[in-house]
Chain A
Amino acid sequence: MKVRILVAFKESVLDPQGQTVKNALHTLGYKKVKDVRQGKVFEIELENTDRTEAERLIPEIADRVLANPIIEKFTWEIIEV
């Protein structure tokens, strides 16, 4: 099974990299871009794992390692069964 985890700053945390990208897009004329948030993507392959086990495992991994819960949040999805 393959899962994709997206880690990004919480709304309450300023994301200066996202802001810089937004400013660059505005300079290029993409005035409709209202906001940009930058994050990280992880693709993790799990061996012999069913959905129930992944639902237990992935949030644990994301919380302990991939994201720093003080400043970041995560979402995840199964992209390949």
Chain B
Amino acid sequence: MKFGVVVFPGSNCDYDAFHVLQNVMSQEAVFLWHKDTDLKNVDCVVLPGGFSYGDYLRSGAIARFSPIMLEIKKFAHSGGLVLGICNGFQILLEAGLLPGAMLRNKKLKFLCQHVYIRIENNRTAFTKAGKKGQVLKIPIAHFDGNYYAQPELLAELENKKQIIFRYCDEKGRITEDANVNGSMHNIAGLINNDGNVLGMMPHPERASERILGSEDGRIIFQSMINYLEKKAGPEKKKRLPVTRAKASALPPLIGTF
């Protein structure tokens, strides 16, 4: 399937996401420039991590006004699959594609570490390749990951099973200690009501190869691929040959900021 990785000024996990999609998951991947107004016919949009627009004003607050975001909103509203990772999650919140907001981490520290998250709902396009209750080891790297929502919204997210990942300990217990950034209800990732937009603070693209200490992130990409292939029908299954040996052969960035 064809994945579009959005590049904002300040994105810094764009190449990581591109690499995993192309070289690890054997999918077609293209970069989408923030000034573009064309989604290049992709099946799925990935908003990568980083510090779009230097995190000025609030994380993700400026990126949401990029020309590409208007197209991504249309794409999402028509059922297109959108994955926001870290800063991508923050952008989805600011853009109103996901509910709630991010506050600074409770201990006011930038957190860069491996964490454990538990799959709370595996009946989604993003988690079906995993099991409910399965514990994933995936790193986080953020300053503003302390998820906040009004009590009524939290109750709704719980009722509709929109909370997809929660911070937990190694054994899958949801504890206060495991909730490193102070998020309400230990929320690490959530989905929209229609189930086609997922935002998550942990970085699955940094946990998709054994050499990096965890391959758990592949569950998310594999789920998405399975979902898209099923939706497209058997004739559109397009797998690129595995190009691990040429992992460095990524396209150069185009455009100027």
- Which A positions have Cβ atoms within 8 angstroms of B? 13-14, 16-17, 20, 65-66, 68, 70-71
Among A20, A65, A68, A70, the residue within 8 A (CB) of B108 is: A20
User: Is A13 a contact partner of B57 (Cβ separation < 8 A)?
Assistant: no
User: Is A17 a contact partner of B148 (Cβ separation < 8 A)?
Assistant: no
User: Is A68 a contact partner of B106 (Cβ separation < 8 A)?
Assistant: no
Indicate with 1 or 0, residue by residue over B67-107, a CB within 8 angstroms of chain A CB atoms: 00000000000000000000000000010000011011011
The distance in angstroms between the C-alpha atoms of A14 and B108, with both chains bound, is: 12
User: Is A13 a contact partner of B61 (Cβ separation < 8 A)?
Assistant: no
User: Is A16 a contact partner of B61 (Cβ separation < 8 A)?
Assistant: no
Q: Which residues of B contact A13 (CB under 8 A)?
A: 103, 148
User: Is A68 a contact partner of B104 (Cβ separation < 8 A)?
Assistant: no
- Which B positions have Cβ atoms within 8 angstroms of A? 57-58, 61, 65, 94, 100-101, 103-104, 106-108, 148-150
Among A16, A66, A68, the residue within 8 A (CB) of B101 is: A68
Chain B: which residue is nearest A40 at the CB level?
B57
Not counting A14-B103, A14-B106, A16-B103, a sample of 15 additional A-B residue pairs whose C-beta atoms are within 8 angstroms of each other reads A13-B148, A16-B106, A16-B108, A17-B104, A17-B108, A20-B108, A65-B57, A65-B65, A68-B61, A68-B94, A70-B148, A70-B149, A70-B150, A71-B101, A71-B148
Q: Which residues of B contact A65 (CB under 8 A)?
A: 57, 61, 65
Q: Which residues of B contact A14 (CB under 8 A)?
A: 103, 106
Given A16-B104, A20-B108, are A66 and B148 also a contact pair (CB < 8 Å)? no
Q: Which residues of A contact B148 (CB under 8 A)?
A: 13, 70-71
CB of A20, distance to nearest CB on chain B (Å)? 6
The distance in angstroms between the C-alpha atoms of A13 and B106, with both chains bound, is: 12
The distance in angstroms between the C-alpha atoms of A20 and B108, with both chains bound, is: 9
The distance in angstroms between the C-alpha atoms of A68 and B61, with both chains bound, is: 9
The distance in angstroms between the C-alpha atoms of A14 and B101, with both chains bound, is: 13
User: Is B104 a contact partner of A70 (Cβ separation < 8 A)?
Assistant: no
Given A13-B148, A17-B108, are A68 and B58 also a contact pair (CB < 8 Å)? yes
Among B65, B103, B107, the residue within 8 A (CB) of A71 is: B103
The distance in angstroms between the C-alpha atoms of A74 and B102, with both chains bound, is: 18
The distance in angstroms between the C-alpha atoms of A79 and B58, with both chains bound, is: 25
10 contacts between A and B (CB under 8 A): A13-B148, A14-B103, A16-B103, A17-B104, A20-B108, A65-B65, A66-B57, A68-B58, A68-B61, A71-B103
The distance in angstroms between the C-alpha atoms of A13 and B103, with both chains bound, is: 9
The distance in angstroms between the C-alpha atoms of A66 and B57, with both chains bound, is: 7
